[in-house]
Amino acid sequence: MPAWSRSTASTWRGAGIGDRSRARLHSPSGSAPNAMTSRSPSAQELNAVLERTPFLAAYGMSVVSCSEGECRVLLPFRRSLERPGGIVSGMALMGAADVAMWLAIMTLRGVDEQWVTSDMKSTFLRRAANENVVCHARVLKLGRRTAYGTVDSAGGVSGLVAHHVVSYAKASPATT
């Protein structure tokens, strides 16, 4: 086993999804300089983040529920987001999945850290026609500078309509 892996193997292997201590398990010493405050933001606090983000207004999204490392976001059906035939557009599904993962990261790191999408792969499984969609995001791995997770998008009638794999990078402070 390589030297780096002996010192960090137990740190990474013991952290399961939803493990309360996971946000602090990023170094062999068990401490992370970027660990969030003592509690996760509530769904109400995450909805306030959505309201303060102007470019999201057209989607009408809201947080249904959240827990550490997870977030469920409702994308309501809107005519402005449909393709011909009443089908929710792939662009809207990807946007909602992206936002759900962004908020899931906030449940671990707080609302003040800035994270940006670095990669997203979407697989569309079936159409969502004239229905609301819920995107369930789960953070699978969270490091000091990168986050990796999955999002499942499901319609109330259609069931699972898309699966997304998303990577995020911590944004550097803007320089002026």
Phi and psi dihedrals of 170, rounded to 5? -70, 130
Encode the chain in three state secondary structure. Answer: CCHHHHHHHHHHHCCCCCCCCHHHCCCCCCCCCCCCCCCCCCHHHHHHHHHCCHHHCCCCCEEEEEECCEEEEEECCCHHHEECCCEECHHHHHHHHHHHHHHHHHHHHCCCCCEEEEEEEEEECCCCECCCEEEEEEEEEECCCEEEEEEEEEECCCEEEEEEEEEEEECCCCCC
**What pLDDT score was predicted for residue 47?**
87
pLDDT at 155: 93
Q: Is the pLDDT of residue 3 over 60?
A: no
pLDDT in tens, 54-86: 888 889 999 999 999 999 999 999 999 998 888
Q: What is the pLDDT of residue 25?
A: 34
| 24-64 per-position pLDDT tens digit | 333 333 434 344 445 788 889 998 898 998 888 889 999 99
Query: Is it the case that residue 11 has pLDDT exceeding 70?
Result: no
Cα angle 146, 55, 127; round to 5: 80
Domains of the chain and any CATH numbers: 40-170 (3.10.129.10)
Q: pLDDT per residue over 130-164, tens digit each?
A: 999 999 999 999 999 999 999 999 998 889 999 99
Q: Are strands 70-75 and 62-67 parallel, antiparallel or unpaired?
A: antiparallel
Q: What mean pLDDT, rounded, does the chain reach?
A: 81
Query: Average pLDDT for residues 169-173, to the nearest whole number?
Result: 88
